[in-house]
Structure 1
Amino acid sequence: MRSLLEFRSIKYVLITLILLSLATVARAQDFQSDTPEHVIQGLQETFIQTMKKGDELGYRGRLELMTPAINRSHDMDTIIRSILGANWNKLDGKQQQKISETFRKLSIATYAERFNRYDRERFEIIEQRLLPRDQILVRSKLIQADGNSINFDYVLHQSKEGWLIINILVDGVSDLAMKRAEYNAILKRDGFEALIAMLEQKILQTEQN
């Protein structure tokens, strides 16, 4: 009887070890699949899904569908700090929190406004390329029904949450550079509250379009 119990005990331990090993392998595979290219593919799949249901969802529905995907794929805090540059450190804690929250809302609202209708478009990943400072460039294009295409190139860096977008270039034009010029000009000329008011006005405009 004792030997039988010992055998069962050993068998239980072996099964437990095997299950733990399988779980470890599965986690490793999940981690390996979280590449910059995988992040962009997931984001663009959400875009297409949202576009296909655009009219049915309406603006609010598109906003709700896109919010988790944008939060998972974008490092909004790093983006807004990069946009403001030296001006970021001139803001107090409450101002930094306010502009970070407002910028995040505007970014998601802009996506919900622009990716609103489907006309047989599809995304295609072109390549993944290493950049300086351990950043990665994922080049892609949106191919339209008429065969024309728009280039969407994403710059990502690795954070504690994984690979996240810190800049987007549309047909070679840097979104970060455009916002840096616009935001800092308003901040310098009119002050912080004017910049927040401008961002909030843009959010309202996305709702009305």
Structure 2
Amino acid sequence: MKSFKKIGSFIFAGLLFVVGTVFAQTPDQSTPPDALIKMVVTDVMASVKADPDIQKGNIPKIVDLVEKKIVPYTDMRRTTEMAMGPNWKKATPEQQAQLTSEFKNLLIRTYSGALSQLRDQTVQFKALRAAPDDKEVVVKTVVLGRGDPVPLDYRLEKTANGWKVYDMNIMGVWLVEAYRNQFSNQISQNGIEGLVKFLQDRNKQLATAKPSN
């Protein structure tokens, strides 16, 4: 997980690129996935650059931003289900709700520092290769800034409420895959409740940790 955490900030930043802002235009259910992403990039960059508190890593403010501006445009339940793999069906509805909530909080707190790193980056968009009736697509982008270009892809699904982001890929590593083994190991050792407790404990640790830029 340490190696993934090193690039995880870019992944989380990518999620923020997608939905972490007040939209110049409000996307509706008919907004194509690539247009949705493209629509908000400029706005989110401007929003972050204009907020000194976020740049300094103000966790409460970042969490508030994520809850209001990001969570509504993601499908964290599906993200959690994919990270759980076959073990998802072994969890009760109550446990599934707990796991989804705790995993969401883990991602927010683990990668919240990514916001403070958004400075001079720009995003290059690749042409979307998808059929009009596709229900799942991958939108490919490249983040340009200091250092080498960073490929950053988004996996989205079409829902009754429009397109939702449920997974991200950076340099060949999908977010849910990075957590799947860890979740599986926890469950094999301590069961579903053990994974719930592990996530709860980890979130408590991160809530009291000092932000690092």
8 Å CA contact 2:95–2:196 kept in 1: the answer is no
Alignment length (residue pairs) = 179
2:139 maps to 1:142? no
Q: 1:118 to 1:158 in 2, by over 3 A?
A: closer
> How far is the alpha carbon of 1:85 from its aligned partner?
2.2
| CA displacement, residues 121-170 of structure 1 (integer Å, 9 cap, x when unaligned) | 122222222289731110012111x3522111011111111111121101
8 Å CA contact 1:143–1:150 kept in 2: the answer is yes
Q: 1:114 to 1:30 in 2, by over 3 A?
A: closer
Q: 1:126 to 1:35 in 2, by over 3 A?
A: same
CA distance in 1, matches of 2:197, 2:51: 28
Partner of 1:59: 59
Partner of 1:151: 151
Q: 1:54 to 1:205 in 2, by over 3 A?
A: farther
2:38 maps to 1:41? yes
Q: CA RMSD in A?
A: 2.7
Give the structure-1-normalised TM-score: 0.73
Q: 1:54 to 1:142 in 2, by over 3 A?
A: farther
| Structure 2 unmatched runs, 5+ | 1-26
- The residue correspondences of 1:6-25 to structure 2 (distance < 5 A) are none
| SS across alignment from 1:64 | helix
| SS across alignment from 1:156 | strand
Partner of 1:18: none
- Specify which structure has the bigger relative contact order, considering alpha-carbon pairs within 8 angstroms and separated by 6 or more residues: 2
Of the structure 1 ranges 119-128 and 129-138, higher mean CA displacement relative to structure 2 is found in 129-138
8 Å CA contact 2:110–2:206 kept in 1: the answer is no
| Structure 1 unmatched runs, 5+ | 1-28
Give the structure-2-normalised TM-score: 0.72
| CA displacement, residues 21-65 of structure 1 (integer Å, 9 cap, x when unaligned) | xxxxxxxx9554x11113323564565245425642312112212
8 Å CA contact 1:54–1:62 kept in 2: the answer is no
CA distance in 2, matches of 1:43, 1:179: 28
Q: Which has the higher helix share?
A: 1
8 Å CA contact 1:50–1:62 kept in 2: the answer is no
Q: 1:45 to 1:103 in 2, by over 3 A?
A: farther
> How far is the alpha carbon of 1:120 from its aligned partner?
1.0
**Higher-Rg member (1/2):** 1
Partner of 2:91: 91
> How far is the alpha carbon of 1:199 from its aligned partner?
2.2
